[in-house]
Chains A and B, each alone.
Chain A
Amino acid sequence: MTLREQYVAFMTIVRKEIKRYLRIWTQTLLPSAITMSLYFVIFGSLIGSRIGEMGGFSYMQFVVPGLIMMAIVTNSYSNVVSSFFGSKFNNSVEELLVSPTPNYIILLGYVVGGISRGMLVAVVVTIVSLFFTHLQIHSYFVVIVIVLMTSTLFALAGFINAVYANNFDDISIIPTFVLTPLIYLGGVFYSMDLLPDFWANVSKLNPLVYVVNAFRYGVLGVSDVSLPLAFGMIALFTVLAFCFSMHLLNSGKRLRQ
């Protein structure tokens, strides 16, 4: 395929993905807005007012970046895992597999679909958060780069999950038993300073700690971990996830007989 043809194929996948999640917006966009509003009300306003300051900011200001990042992580992941597994389940993935579209274009198409949903939900959640607190961005560069890197990483993770999934239960196991605990223990609701040294060190094995703290730095200018380390870790995980996804596609594992 020429580069122009590859671009057409890529845009076809992205357009299809965006159309899919917009068509079912009550299942894809609305739940995050409602869930995050509840978090803002309960943790931010009701409980947060009794907690006081954290990291030099009101508790509401402190949790907002983590909650936005939580929405990005879950949406970019779940978009790719549900869409790609769905296409495996109804065999429509064969439309792509029989075509000359290169594997990396297939992967990029789905990943960009996941990124776009993650970012759209981030915008929705940010707008909702403005009803509860005032937000000012410390570094637009950090915010944009970290959002792109994080949504890419979790879209790739969703793709890997989709390839290995055999049924619809398999696409909810990882989000429920792995992703959610990692997010909750990733410093969304608390500062690492509150943890004893041992658990603070254990937390550093959690990739979500780097994601949440790097984003919090971009918004508030504070972070529990070093920014270069956070970028390095996210980049490393992203490269590994991309290479493994490409290996799965090239080998045809669980996609071709």
Chain B
Amino acid sequence: MIPALTIENLSKVYGDGFEALKGISLEVQQGDFFAMLGPNGAGKSTTIGIICSLVAKTAGKVSVFEVDIDRDFAAAKKYIGVVPQEFNFNQFEKALDIVINQAGYYGLPRELAAERAEKYLKALGLWDKRDVPSRMLSGGMKRRLMIARALVHEPKLLILDEPTAGVDIEMRRSMWDFLRKINAEGTTIILTTHYLEEAEALCRHIAIINKGEIVEHSSIKALLRRLKREVFILDCVEEAPETVQIDGFVVRRIDSHSLEVEVEKGQFINQVFDELGRQGIHINSMRNRANRLEEMFVNLVEGAS
């Protein structure tokens, strides 16, 4: 199977001399759900800009489904749908017109464009708003409108640059469900996000970019296996004692009914439960304190700086 995206030694130096990308290379397989993470200014949006032709690269090679963008950008563009970080549609145009016009720019005949627009506006819950000028839509609706617009030519590769930024939790979950569905139907998805929970929940592979370089490129499972330590919150049935001690573990009392326990790699959480039971402390629920990927991300980014 040919890769959906291949980037080789890609670099970008802006006019003011800022080196946004320092020869990065990565590959995204067909059908993958791929996360691109990194702090602000790391080079994620520059990479996406180059892939979809909004940014001119300084050096390197980009191929989309083995079509080199330097040789046949028009063919490569047909494979790509892009949802940018900022709203980039005419605020005075109606939602339906925005989607239909985008289909037209890809050469889809008017009737087919109208069919597709209806399909994706319905799928994203915007059909009722089709005749509303886009400036009247809420932030979440505008994001979904950009997704509908990006999908109208049914690209094989969908690139989303922070699609859930500023979107409420319920809307975010429904967008996740939608993205999972189209990924299951065969669309390769590349996602940049600041919500590491989002990457962990959705994606199978990940690249972490920092200061224009890729500091990690692997599967999320492999990455998480390398975690040295996890922190769990334990909710107690009765009020917890002021101090709790378990040999080999760091335990903190957060409030009257919650404890925080650090479990190092190689240790077992069962040991904690056994010891707490012996001390008469009964637990009725448990959860991760912080997003696990977030911890790994901070380690990698801080380690690189």
Interface residues of A (CB under 8 A from B): 1-2, 4-6, 8-9, 11-13, 16, 19, 23, 86-87, 90-92, 94-102, 252, 256-257
Contacts and interface: CB of A to CB of B under 8 A. Distances in A.
Main secondary structure of the interface of A (DSSP, over half): helix
Contacts of A101: 105-107
Contacts of A90: 88-91
B56 A11 contact: no
A98 B80 contact: yes
17 contacts: A4-B107, A5-B107, A8-B107, A8-B110, A16-B97, A23-B92, A91-B84, A91-B86, A92-B88, A95-B101, A96-B105, A98-B54, A100-B75, A100-B107, A102-B74, A252-B56, A256-B55
A125 B54 CA distance: 41
B253 to A, nearest CB: 51
A5 B110 CA distance: 11
B94 to A, nearest CB: 10
Contacts of B97: 16, 19
A91 B89 CA distance: 7
A87 B105 CA distance: 15
Contact of B49 (A2, A4, A257): A257
Given A95-B88, A95-B89, A100-B78, A11 B54 contact: no
B93 to A, nearest CB: 8
B108 A8 contact: yes
Contacts of A98: 52-54, 77, 80, 82
Given A19-B97, A101-B107, A257-B54, 12 more contacts: A1-B107, A9-B107, A12-B105, A16-B97, A23-B92, A91-B86, A91-B87, A100-B75, A100-B78, A100-B106, A102-B74, A256-B56
Contacts of B74: 1, 100, 102
A11 B110 CA distance: 10
A11 B107 contact: no
A95 B89 CA distance: 7
B149 interface: yes
